[in-house]
Structure 1
Amino acid sequence: MTRTPARLPDPFLGQAFHTADAVRNGVTPGRLRREDLAAPTRGVRVPAELDLADLSARVAAFGLVLGERHHFSHTTALALWELPLPPWVVSDATVHVSTVGDGPVMRRTGVVGHRVSPPFADVETCAGLPPSSPVAAWCESAGLLAERDLVVIGDHLVARALADPEQLERRSRERRSRWALRLRAAAHRVRPGSESPMETLIRLVIVDAGFPEPQLNIDVHSPVGRFLGRVDLAYPDLRIGVEYDGEHHRTDRATWQHDATRSNGFVSAGWLILHVTARDVADPTAFLLRLSDVFRTRASSPLP
């Protein structure tokens, strides 16, 4: 019969803790090996019910073993700042830790250690932890993320007033790594005005297909000046709009009815609106053909 593990002292309940601290408070090594505790890294224990696939749980555990010159960096820092990351990064258990200067690089299972020279070390505090600043983490991640991912994050940095396009351009030019060209290309494509990662991705899909770059989130009015709504991406001179429809646009009845009313108003004002879904972004062929047809329609039937 398995005995229920003895209750831990209060300071060690429900959170990550140093095994050395627990032993100093009377917890035996045998108790630290019981099944109600997990060992995310040596010298640290967490409650077994914590989901170590969750970044916050992993970071809390590894935060206990950071040295004086260590800080969370790269995509780990981006996640701590709650910046949009591709799904494969979110599900990746890797923790990135950087060492400033000539201190020891962290070598632990589940950790990728990096070294950063002092001129490029820009460390801030987020939720009591030391990550790279949002802009520094964006620069650091150029070797891990695709150009489009970097543009999505860059747009989000600008939208949250964590950076401006000129700052990202400047910081990208300062980098001399082998990923510098990718970073500079991404910085050049960052735009103010994007309000979601999908809006950024749609813009990039459109431009990469050879269409003119659309304007972002513009207000549309009727001929008599009545406000009709905001369009995610637009060509105002042609009265062409592109709207991203998330899942809630289909499943929420109130949203669906609101969208229908808006669409009627746009049509009455002479606008052609294309609706795009996540599936269209993943495979944009059909959407781009529709957009091409809309451009041809406007070319053959000029606006009054």
Structure 2
Amino acid sequence: MPFADFDPTQPFTVEEAREAGRSRWLRNGRCRRIFHNMYIDARIPDTVVVRSRAALRLAPEGGVLSHWTAARLWGGIVPDNANIHVSFMRDVRFRVDGIKPHRFRHRLHIVKRHGLPVTGPEQTFAHLARDLDLLDLVALGDSLVRKGVTTPQGLLAYAESWDGQCRREAVAAARLVRERVDSVPETKLRLLLVLAGLPEPEVDIRIHDADGIVVFRIDLGYRAARLAFEYDGRWHDDGDQPAKDEHRRRHLSTEEAWTFEIFVAKDVFETPEATLERAVAALEAAGIRVDRPLSDAWRPHFRCPTAQAA
């Protein structure tokens, strides 16, 4: 590689550095290792885009970024996975630490994202139905919709036409994806209620003033009964956010007759059964009918100390 063509801000190999007369960079700390035989200028941040570019340079021809990697490139939220995932529509022999190859016999839906070949958001969702549980798959769908790269209807239509593995799981999750969901914990609080058979709350209720301008938002709730269910994550303790939350809830309670039930991480992830009991009490107090007994469909997805102790 001619010296003038060498760009250390893009992934490069040891051989390319030597050809450009930059071998010393590999020893003096001016570059960092991404994968075996793939380096970059140490000043370039370690991002999924950078690692994806490096992985594709090492991968056989025809590789497409997929699974967790594609989800993150689309702006979706998925559990941590250290590998860069690359899919092929042919058999390949390829092994590099940190890069996970996949082989598919169905056609890959390839779209460019950040200039890279990536499986489309709907196919990415369907692929991950094999690996993610229901809660995380719905959370992924909610986050993809919030990013504006797909819609609940688009995910469901794709899942229903999917002829790959775990079609049933993809369809079940797609049916639960909603628009305007703010966070993964909010998704999981909603799913706890829905899987238990409680009436599904409306997402992102917007309160308008006399001029039609949105002045307040409510995470989850039952508009007709003026009952709000909200999840307070750690960000609600930062800066002036507690004061803003208090002002909003006080105004809506005193001026609009809303009742608020506030949930935190422990309620959803450690004591879901007690949380359901609290939700049922709030719903019935608001005049909302609850079918009993509650469904146990939530139990496989949430920690239940009572069941574990038994």
TM-score of the two chains, using structure 2 as the length reference: 0.78
Take 2:75 and 2:13, find their aligned partners in 1: how far apart are those partners? 27
Equivalent in the alignment of 1:192: 179
Pair 1:270 & 2:257 matched:
yes
Q: How many residues align?
A: 282
CA contact (8 A) 2:111 2:119 kept: yes
The code of the aligned residue for 1:46 comes to I
Pair 1:59 & 2:52 matched:
yes
Give the one of 155, 159, 183 matched to 2:142.
Answer: 155
CA contact (8 A) 2:70 2:118 kept: yes
CA contact (8 A) 2:152 2:174 kept: yes
Take 1:167 and 1:229, find their aligned partners in 2: how far apart are those partners? 29
CA contact (8 A) 2:202 2:221 kept: yes
Take 1:290 and 1:226, find their aligned partners in 2: how far apart are those partners? 33
Give the one of 105, 126, 136 matched to 1:117.
Answer: 105
**Unaligned stretches of 5+ residues in structure 2:** 289-310
Equivalent in the alignment of 1:4: none
Take 2:153 and 2:27, find their aligned partners in 1: how far apart are those partners? 54
- Greater alpha carbon shift after TM alignment, 41-50 vs 59-68: 41-50
Cα displacement (A) at 1:85: 1.4
Take 1:126 and 1:229, find their aligned partners in 2: how far apart are those partners? 34
Take 2:118 and 2:197, find their aligned partners in 1: how far apart are those partners? 38
SS at match of 1:60: helix
Cα displacement (A) at 1:105: 5.0
Could you say which structure has the greater relative contact order, defined with CA pairs below 8 angstroms and 6 or more residues apart? 2
Equivalent in the alignment of 2:120: 133
Give the one of 150, 159, 175 matched to 1:172.
Answer: 159
Equivalent in the alignment of 1:294: 282
TM-score of the two chains, using structure 1 as the length reference: 0.80
**In the TM superposition, what whole-angstrom CA distance separates every residue of 1:193-236 from its partner, at most 9, and x where no partner exists?**
3233332222111112331101111234699x997622111112
The code of the aligned residue for 1:58 comes to R
Give the one of 70, 83, 86 matched to 1:97.
Answer: 86
The verdict on how the C-alpha distance between 1:248 and 1:40 changes in structure 2, with shifts beyond 3 A counting, is: closer
- Greater alpha carbon shift after TM alignment, 205-214 vs 154-163: 154-163
CA contact (8 A) 1:74 1:140 kept: yes
Equivalent in the alignment of 1:230: 217
The code of the aligned residue for 1:147 comes to L
CA contact (8 A) 1:266 1:273 kept: no
Equivalent in the alignment of 1:11: 6
**Unaligned stretches of 5+ residues in structure 1:** 1-7
The code of the aligned residue for 2:249 comes to S
Cα displacement (A) at 1:99: 0.9
Output the aligned Cα RMSD: 3.0
Equivalent in the alignment of 2:133: 146
CA contact (8 A) 2:74 2:121 kept: yes
Equivalent in the alignment of 2:206: 219
Take 2:166 and 2:27, find their aligned partners in 1: how far apart are those partners? 45
Pair 1:26 & 2:12 matched:
no
**In the TM superposition, what whole-angstrom CA distance separates every residue of 1:8-62 from its partner, at most 9, and x where no partner exists?**
989353542122322322355xx4763635544343233567776x534432321
Pair 1:108 & 2:96 matched:
yes
Take 1:250 and 1:22, find their aligned partners in 2: how far apart are those partners? 48
The verdict on how the C-alpha distance between 1:236 and 1:60 changes in structure 2, with shifts beyond 3 A counting, is: same
Pair 1:81 & 2:70 matched:
no
The verdict on how the C-alpha distance between 1:154 and 1:46 changes in structure 2, with shifts beyond 3 A counting, is: same
* Identity score, percent: 28
CA contact (8 A) 1:217 1:230 kept: yes
- Greater alpha carbon shift after TM alignment, 74-83 vs 282-291: 282-291
Cα displacement (A) at 1:157: 2.3
SS at match of 2:160: helix
SS at match of 1:229: strand
SS at match of 2:218: strand
Take 2:161 and 2:284, find their aligned partners in 1: how far apart are those partners? 43
The verdict on how the C-alpha distance between 1:227 and 1:183 changes in structure 2, with shifts beyond 3 A counting, is: closer
CA contact (8 A) 2:226 2:257 kept: yes
Pair 1:44 & 2:29 matched:
no
